[in-house]
Amino acid sequence: MELKESLHQHPSQPRSKNEKQAMVNRLKRIEGQVRGIQKMIEEDRYCVDVLVQISAINAALNKVGFSVTERHIKHCVSDAILSGDGEETIEELMDVMKQFSK
Amino acid sequence: MELKESLHQHPSQPRSKNEKQAMVNRLKRIEGQVRGIQKMIEEDRYCVDVLVQISAINAALNKVGFSVTERHIKHCVSDAILSGDGEETIEELMDVMKQFSK
Amino acid sequence: MELKESLHQHPSQPRSKNEKQAMVNRLKRIEGQVRGIQKMIEEDRYCVDVLVQISAINAALNKVGFSVTERHIKHCVSDAILSGDGEETIEELMDVMKQFSK
Amino acid sequence: MELKESLHQHPSQPRSKNEKQAMVNRLKRIEGQVRGIQKMIEEDRYCVDVLVQISAINAALNKVGFSVTERHIKHCVSDAILSGDGEETIEELMDVMKQFSK
């Protein structure tokens, strides 16, 4: 399912500096977890332990995804609804939710 | 659901050098994608574009997970079945599959 | 994660008769598919064929879920945002999206 | 991803009468839950309550799927491995696991 070109370049209300730093820190931890798996593969660690780590990263990424989604609905989608053209933004949101659920 | 201590330290048949390098390269690409999302957050990129990238990483991680799972079944699980104690290894596999599906 | 008591008893804008019938027909087909699996179990059909049917039902249910979600956002969530109390309704939506993704 | 024609018609070791009845009963409960959602739609119940029910059915179906998968690995896959032609059966298992994860 190809996602249409997104409607905007930027969120209607950019994150504060602290919000940004908190999100970047979460992503840096995930980056470190991915490096950790590389090491497990190099050290021939047991497959089940590798799989447990992969599912931990998936869970961490899903949390980041949900927090981006919540912020998107509270700002971009809400602003579009308040300015009378929510339909397209809601359909864009549904497209990305369907992609996320795969 | 807490996963029991895994039954082994190492896969019954370690990966070849090439297999390892191919897997580490895939993980390095995923690491790069995670860094890419950090940049998108810093540049206040549109939330939907960030979400599309997160779901792309999830998809790439799932592929790595399936290839580790397939290798695990073809080696560790098969060897355990052939040596007559497959029951525990199969239950360990089911536990991690359930964790993965969350 | 326990979902809080939902905020409302009824959608802000009930479905038309046709909309209702279309949705009930989809659910009746899913009901028939579930009965089909009972038959497969009774006839000792091959496990992989049973699993393929179960994942087809999951896919059909997910489609119903997405269409209920889209309608919910276009009506109940949008109406709450327009009347100035979108925050709680958005958080309720996020809770159910997280439950759905398990 | 089209699943290849499954390798067998029947499980290598059919379920006992009790096993079958327990599985059919679980599926009958799921069937009842699907009918319950039809009623919620007809009664214009709040969308979030409908979504909670759909995710409950998904969870029940996933449990049935895991129990069919576990039985399949313990019998059909194990028997194929023990008779020296596990490769194809494992690949068939991986195909259906990938389909399930969508």
CA distance B4 to B19: 28
Residue B9's pLDDT is: 67
Number of Cβ within 10 Å of residue D70's Cβ equals 17
Q: Which fold has domain A17-100?
A: Methane Monooxygenase Hydroxylase; Chain G, domain 1 (1.20.58)
pLDDT above 90 covers a percentage of chain C that reads 81
Give the residue among D59, B47, B76 at the shortest CA–CA distance from A79. Answer: B47
Residue D37's pLDDT is: 98
Tell me the mean pLDDT in the region B80-85: 94
Query: Which long-range contacts does A31-40 make (Cβ < 8 Å, 24+ apart)?
Result: A31/B31, A31/B34, A31/B35, A31/B38, A33/A57, A33/A60, A34/B27, A34/B30, A34/B31, A34/B34, A35/B27, A35/B31, A37/B27, A37/B64, A38/B24, A38/B27, A38/B28, A38/B31
What element of type H or E holds B98?
helix B86-100
CA distance C29 to A40: 46
Q: Which of B51-60, C9-18, C37-46, C63-72 has the lowest mean pLDDT?
A: C9-18
Tell me what the pLDDT averaged over chain A comes to: 91
Assess whether pLDDT exceeds 90 at residue A100: no
Q: How many CB pairs under 8 A join C and D?
A: 150
Assess whether pLDDT exceeds 90 at residue B3: no
Q: Any idea where the domains of chain A sit in the sequence?
A: 17-100
Query: From the CA of A34, how many Å to the nearest CA of chain C?
Result: 22
Residue A88's pLDDT is: 94
- Nearest residue of C to residue A81, measured between CA atoms: C78
Cα–Cα distances in Å, from D76 out to A20, A101, C5, C93, D31? 51, 30, 45, 42, 28
Number of Cβ within 10 Å of residue B81's Cβ equals 23
Q: In the numeric block, which tokens belong to residue D6?
A: 């499954």
C46 and D90 in contact (C-beta within 8 Å)?
no
In one letter, which amino acid is D81?
I
CA distance A62 to A100: 9
pLDDT confidence bin for C33, thresholds 50/70/90 = very high
Chain B residues 12-51 with CB within 8 Å of chain A: 14-15, 20, 23-24, 27-28, 30-31, 34-35, 37-38, 41-42, 44-51
Tell me the mean pLDDT in the region C17-25: 96
Judging contacts by C-beta atoms under 8 Å, the chain B residues touching residue D97 are: 66, 69, 97
Judging contacts by C-beta atoms under 8 Å, the chain C residues touching residue A66 are: 94, 97-98, 101
Conformational region of residue D46, where left means phi above 0, alpha means psi within -120 to 50, and beta covers everything else: beta
Global ipTM: 0.90
Assess whether pLDDT exceeds 60 at residue A81: yes
Assess whether pLDDT exceeds 80 at residue A11: no
Q: For the segment B45-77, what is each residue's pLDDT rounded down to a tens digit?
A: 999 999 999 999 999 999 999 999 999 999 999
Number of Cβ within 10 Å of residue A71's Cβ equals 18
Give the three-class secondary structure for A71.
Answer: helix
Query: From the CA of D65, how many Å to the nearest CA of chain B?
Result: 10
CA distance D25 to D17: 12
In one letter, which amino acid is D89?
T
CA distance B68 to A37: 12
A81 and C81 in contact (C-beta within 8 Å)?
yes
Assess whether pLDDT exceeds 90 at residue C7: no
Judging contacts by C-beta atoms under 8 Å, the chain D residues touching residue C11 are: 44, 46-47
Residue B2's pLDDT is: 52
C59 and C75 in contact (C-beta within 8 Å)?
no
Residue B8's pLDDT is: 72
Q: In the numeric block, which tokens belong to residue D85?
A: 């032609």
Query: From the CA of D48, how many Å to the nearest CA of chain C?
Result: 7
**Helices A47-72 + B86-100 axis angle, to 10:** 10
Residue A1's pLDDT is: 41
Mutate to test the interface with C, among D51, D66, D92, D100 (most CBs of C within 10 A): D51
Q: Does D63 touch chain C (CB under 8 A)?
A: no
Inspect the interface and report whether the beta carbons of C68 and D55 lie closer than 8 Å.
no
Ranges of chain D whose pLDDT falls below 70: 1-5, 7, 9
Q: Does B63 touch chain A (CB under 8 A)?
A: no
pLDDT confidence bin for B6, thresholds 50/70/90 = confident
Judging contacts by C-beta atoms under 8 Å, the chain A residues touching residue C81 are: 78, 81-82
A47 and B76 in contact (C-beta within 8 Å)?
yes
CA distance A74 to C92: 12
Q: Which chains touch A (3 or more CB pairs under 8 A)?
A: B, C
